[in-house]
Amino acid sequence: MKAIQVQDDQQLVLADVERPELKPGEVLVKVKAVGVNRADLLQAAGHYPPPPGTSEVLGLECAGVIEDAGDTDREQGEKVACLLAGGAYAEYVAVPEGQLMPIPEGYSFEEAASVVEVACTVWSNLGMLAGLEPGQTLLIHGGAGGIGTFAIQLAKHLGLTVAVTAGSKEKLEACKDLGADILINYKEEDFAEVLKNKCDRILDIIGAKYLDQNVKALAKDGHMVIIGMQGGVKGELNIGRLLSKRGTISATALRARDLDDKANIVRSTTEHIWPLLAKGVIRHHIHQTLPLEQAQRAHQMLQDGEVTGKLVLSV
pLDDT tens digits for range 161-173: 999 999 999 999 9
pTM: 0.95
CATH number for position 17: 3.90.180.10
Give dist(CA 299, CA 150) in Å, integer: 20
Measure the CA–CA gap between 242 and 278, rounded to whole angstroms: 40
Q: What integer pLDDT is reported at residue 22 of this predicted model? A: 97
- Given 232, 251, 270, the domain boundary residue is 251
- Tell me the average pLDDT across 215-231: 96
Q: Is residue 89 domain-shared with residue 109, that is, in the same domain?
A: yes
Burial class of residue 143 in the structure, from the number of CB atoms within 10 Å of its CB (0-12 exposed, 13-18 middle, 19+ buried): buried
Q: What is the pLDDT of residue 136?
A: 98
Q: What is the CATH number of the domain that holds 159?
A: 3.40.50.720
List residues bridging with 224 in a β-sheet.
202, 249
Task: Note the pLDDT of residue 40.
Answer: 97
Domain final position from 218, 236, 251 = 251
What pLDDT shows up at residue 163?
98
Q: What is the pLDDT of residue 105?
A: 96
Q: What is the pLDDT of residues 101-125, one digit of tens each?
A: 999 999 999 999 999 999 999 999 9
Kindly state whether residues 206 and 268 are assigned to the same domain.
Answer: no
Identify the H or E element spanning 304. none
Domain edge (last residue) among 225, 251, 277:
251
Comparing CA positions, the residue from 289, 277, 257 lying closest to residue 150 is 277
Report residue 94's pLDDT band, with 50, 70 and 90 as the boundaries.
very high
Task: Determine contact, residues 137/113, Cβ cutoff 8 Å.
Answer: no
- Can you give the pLDDT at residue 151? 97
Q: Which domain holds residue 149?
A: 119-251
pLDDT band at 302 (very low <50, low <70, confident <90, very high): very high
Question: How many domains, the chain?
Answer: 2
Q: Tell whether 259 and 246 lie within a shared domain.
A: no
Task: For residues 139 and 98, state if they share a domain.
Answer: no
Name the pairing type of β-strands 26-36 and 310-314.
antiparallel
Q: Do 289 and 238 share a structural domain?
A: no
